[in-house]
Amino acid sequence: MSSQPVGAVERQFVPLIVSGGIWIVTAKIVSQLSQVATFLVAARMLSPMEFGLFAFVSAIATLLVVVAEGGWAEFIMKAHDGDDCFDQVATISLISGGLFTAVGVIAAAVFYTRTADETQSALIVLFSCWMLPAALTAAFDGMLVALGRLRQRAIVRIVGELSGLMTVVALLHLHGHASALAAGKIVCQLVLLVGSMQIAMRLPRLRLTRPMLVEVTAFSRQIVGNRLLVFLGSYSGTLVVGSFLGIADAGFYRAAERVVAVVAELLGEPARSLSWVVFRRAHQQPSAPGRSVGLAGVRFLLVLFAIAAPMYLGLAQISEAVVRLVLGEVWMPAASIIPFLCLRQLLLAPGYINEASLSVVGNIRYRLPVTLLNVAVSLGVVVMVARFGLRELAIAQCFTAAFALVTCIGLQSKMANVDWLEISKGVILLIVPPSLVMLATVALVRHDFSRDLSWRVVVALQIGAGALAYAAVLIALVGLSRRLRWLTLE
C-alpha cells in the first residue's frame, strides 16, 4: 500500500480545515441573522402578551431539548468505533426524543383539560413535536463532524435556518399567532434532520447494548450538566418574570434581552473563537508559557473592553430610540431595562476567555464550580427580586454580574496568571476617559438637536459623533501610553 508524504497530507489537510472553518462561520452568521430577523418580525406582528407567551413556553421547551439532545453529537465525535457507535447513540436519541415528546403532549392535554385554552395547549404540542427530530439530529450532527463533512453540514444548517425564517414570516402574515414561531422551529429542525440523513446516506440501525448505555449516560451527565447551567443563566429571567409578573412582562423582558443579545452575540462569538487562537499560540512559546498566557490575557481583555465599552454604553444611551425603531411604540417598557442589561453584559465580558485561557494551562476543571456558584447566586437573586418589577430585576442582575466578575478575576488570576491589576490600570487610563467623552457627546447631541431634527436623524448623529469622539480620545491615549510607558505589556 502506498502512502502520501507527510507534506502532501498537510497541504491537503490545512485547506480542508480553513474551508470548513469558513463554512462554519458563514452558517453561524446566517443563523444569528435569521434569529434576529425572526425576533424583529415577531415583535412587530405579535402583542407583548403573545410574544411573552412564546418566550415563556419556548424557554421551558428549550430546557427539555437540552436534556433530550444529551450530548449525543459530542459522544459520537470522540468515539472511535464509527458505525456501531452511531447506531447505538441514534437509538438512545430516538428513545430520549420520543420520551420528551410524549411528556410534552401529555402536559398539553392536562393543561387543556384544566384551562380549556386551545392557543396555549397547541403551542405546547408544537414545541413537543420539536424534541424528537432535535434529539435525532444531534446524533447525525456528530456523525457529519466525525466524517469531516463540515461544508455539507454548514449548507444544511443555512438552508434550515432560512426555511424556518420563511415559515415564520409566512405564517405570521396568514394568522399572526405565536404558534408560527414554534412551527418555524419545527420546519428548521426537520430540514436539518432530512438534510443530514441525505449527506450521511444512511439511516440508524436500532441497536443498544448495556455497556454502551452506561458509557453514554456517564458522558451525557457531564455535557447536560454544563449546558443546563448555561441555560439557567440565559433564561432564568424570562422564566421567573413569567411566573411572578405575568406573560406580558416576560415578553418585555425577553425583548430587552434579545436587543442586548444582538450586541453580545456579535461580540462574544468572535471573542471566544479568537481567544483560542491567542492563548494556544501564547502557550506554545518556548520560554515561560505560563507568563505568556497571562500577558496574552491582559492584552486580549484590554482590547475586548475597548471594543465592548462603546457598544454597550452607546446602546444604553439610545435604548429608547432603538426600541422605537426596531420594535415599535408598544414595546417601549422594554427600553427602561436595556441600559441595566447592557451594564450586566459589559461586566460579564471577561468571562469570554475563561474556557480558552484555562484549557491551555490545564486548569479547566476549576471552571465548573465557579460557574455553578455564579448561576446559583444569579438564580437566587432573580427569584427574590423578580416580584418587585422589571427594573428592579435588571438592577439586581447588574450586582450578580459584578459578583461573577469578581469570581472571574480570581479564577483568571490564580489559574491563568492574568494580571488584573494591570488590566484595571489599563481600563482606568485608556477605556474610562474616552467612554466618558462619548457619553457626554451623545448626551449633548440629544440635548442640542432633539427639538429641531427628527428622532431618527438625532440617533444617527449620536452614533456618528459618539463613535468619532471615542475613537479620537482612545487613539490619543494609546499613543501617549506607549510614549510614557504607562502599561507594561511587553
Q: What is the DSSP letter of 82?
A: T
- Spans in the chain with pLDDT lower than 70: 1-21, 25, 78, 80-82, 222, 226, 286-290, 488-490
Chain-centroid distance of CA 360 in Å reads 23
pLDDT attached to residue 29: 80
Phi-psi region of 453 (alpha: psi -120 to 50; beta: other; left: phi over 0): beta
Amino acid identity for residue 85 in this structure: C
SS3 221: helix
Rounded CA-CA distance 314/281 in Å is 33
Cβ atoms of 420 and 412 within 8 Å: the answer is yes
The sign of the CA dihedral 388, 391, 394, 400 is negative
Q: Residues 385, 393: contact at Cβ < 8 Å?
A: yes
Residue 1 pLDDT: 40
**Residue-level pLDDT at 2:** 42
What is the pLDDT at residue 287? 63
pTM over 0.85: no
In sequence order, which ranges of 245-366 are alpha helices (DSSP H)? Answer: 247-283, 289-317, 319-326, 338-348, 354-360
Q: Under a CB-based contact definition with an 8 Å cutoff, are residues 61 and 130 in contact?
A: yes
Is the distance from CB of 259 to CB of 337 less than 8 angstroms? no
pLDDT of residue 13: 41
pLDDT of 9: 38
What pLDDT sits at residue 26?
A: 79
Distances (CA, A) of 252 to 232, 323, 337, 398: 19, 11, 9, 18
Report the pLDDT value the prediction gives residue 81, as an integer from 0 to 100. 65
DSSP state of 431: I
C-alpha cell of residue 471: 475613537
Angle at CA 206, nearest 5°, toward 200 and 210?
A: 120
For residue 490, give every residue at least 6 positions away whose Cβ sits within 8 Å of its Cβ, in sequence order, or none.
none
State in Å, rounded, how far the first CA of the chain is from the last one: 52
H helices, E strands: number in the chain: 18, 0
Q: How far is CA 394 from the centre of its chain?
A: 19
CA separation for the pair 33, 261 (Å, rounded): 12
Q: What is the pLDDT of residue 341?
A: 95
Contacts of 488 (CB under 8 A, 6+ apart): 422
Q: What is the pLDDT of residue 175?
A: 78
pLDDT attached to residue 58: 84
Integer Cα distance of 375 and 482 in angstroms? 40
Q: Which three cell numbers stand for residue 454?
A: 427628527
Rounded (5°) CA angle 254-231-49: 25
Half-sphere exposure of 286 (CA within 13 A, CB side): 0
User: Which three cell numbers mark 307?
Assistant: 471594543
Is 141:153 a contact under the CB 8 Å cutoff?
A: yes
Alpha helix segments (H runs only) across 46-149: 48-69, 72-78, 83-115, 118-146
pLDDT score recorded for residue 488:
67
The amino acid that residue 214 corresponds to is V
| Closest among 153, 127, 129 to 140, alpha carbons compared | 153
Cα 49 to Cα 330: distance, rounded to the nearest angstrom: 11
- Amino acid making up residue 122: A
Alpha carbon distances (Å) from 227 to 78, 220, 223, 375: 18, 10, 6, 12
Q: What's the residue count for the chain? A: 490
Residue 291 CA from chain centroid, whole number: 30
In our burial notation (b when 16+ CB lie closer than 10 A, e otherwise), range 315-339 reads bbbbbbbbbbebbeeebebbbbbbb
Q: Which three cell numbers stand for residue 109?
A: 392535554
**Residue 213 grid coordinates:** 448505555
